[in-house]
Amino acid sequence: MSAIDMLGIGARKSDHDAVVAALFGGKTKASRPIKSLSEELDRLRLIKSPSEIKLMRAAGEAASLAHADAMAFAEPDMTEAVLCARFEYQCALAGAERLAYVPVCASGPSALTMHYTANDRPLQRGSLVLFDAGCERHGYASDITRTFPVDGTFSSAQRDLYEALLTVQKACVALCAAGEGVSLQDLHRRSFGLLRRELIRLGFDLPTGALERTLHPHFIGHQLGMDLHDVRSTSRHERSVAGPSLRLRTCRLKPGMVITIEPGILCVAAHVCRATAGADRSRRAAPRSCSPRIC
């Protein structure tokens, strides 16, 4: 006999409504309004306590050590799956209970696929690996993306792009100080200006809209906590979570919020991201044959 049958409630109602009716003496939602606590819980989850931040720091440190190990472990002809397994093993050794999400281990042209999870290609000498992976400790997630050369050495073009992205990321992190009063949406917009400046400095000829639509088509980051995208609403056209002031991408960042900062470049076909003809070597961008996503 099911719990619903034991309560003596007819099968015509859904399980949820039946349990609610049993708990409130048979009264329905219409006769006794019931409000979900999810909005209040979301509000609380936005600001992490010092204890929560301590747990998140531990999750981040475990994933960071595993990323560093994966970089040293990678070598040509190894498969992406082996690198993922090595990462998970090192996270477990560091005390993580599980991975926070399916890793993205994308080498060479695979990195052009957003959220690539096939993880079955062999690593090729001279190519880059985009490795997006994190772990959980005591229910709190980490999320780290790094890009590194398979054989341990950047080409000059790869190094130029990597340093350009690193400059943008550091500038965005600096803007996150509480005194700046910025939102994730502000960081996203400012990242375009910063990235455009870096790419022009390298000699890129950027057609109108190429940066926003092709080279950097993803959002700059997201909230992080007990869930990978914490809390519920994270889409570009999100609805309010708990009133207009808490729209996750437009609310001002406050002390205790934890976010990711993930600028990237999808370096694709030459007609979209080509270096200015005749640019000198110090301003050279990626050649046509270079097509990894740099993050």
> Residue-wise over 174-195: b if at least 16 C-beta within 10 A, else e?
ebeeeeeebbbbbbbebbbebb
Per-residue pLDDT of the chain (295 residues; tens, 9 = 90+): 454 454 444 445 567 677 766 666 655 555 666 777 777 888 888 899 999 999 999 999 999 999 999 999 999 999 999 999 999 999 999 999 999 999 999 999 999 888 899 999 999 999 999 999 999 999 999 999 999 999 999 999 899 999 999 999 999 999 987 667 899 999 999 999 999 999 999 988 888 778 888 888 889 999 999 999 887 653 333 444 444 434 778 888 889 999 999 999 887 544 333 433 334 333 333 332 233 344 4
Cis status, amide bond into 231, omega within 30 of 0: yes
Does residue 28 belong to any structural domain of this protein?
yes
What span, in angstroms and rounded, lies between the C-alpha atoms of 205 and 246? 38
Does residue 218 belong to any structural domain of this protein?
no
Does residue 12 belong to any structural domain of this protein?
yes
Q: Considering Cα of 68, then 73, then 76, then 78, what sign does the dihedral take?
A: negative
Bridge partner residues of 183 (DSSP): 252
Q: Which of 119, 137, 150 is nearest to 63 (CA)?
A: 137
Does residue 6 belong to any structural domain of this protein?
yes
Does residue 5 belong to any structural domain of this protein?
yes
Does residue 44 belong to any structural domain of this protein?
no
Domain that holds residue 12: 1-34
Mind listing the pLDDT tens digit for each residue in 93-107?
A: 999 999 999 999 999
CB count within 10 Å of CB 204 equals 26
**Number of domains composing the chain:** 1
The SS3 of residue 266 is strand
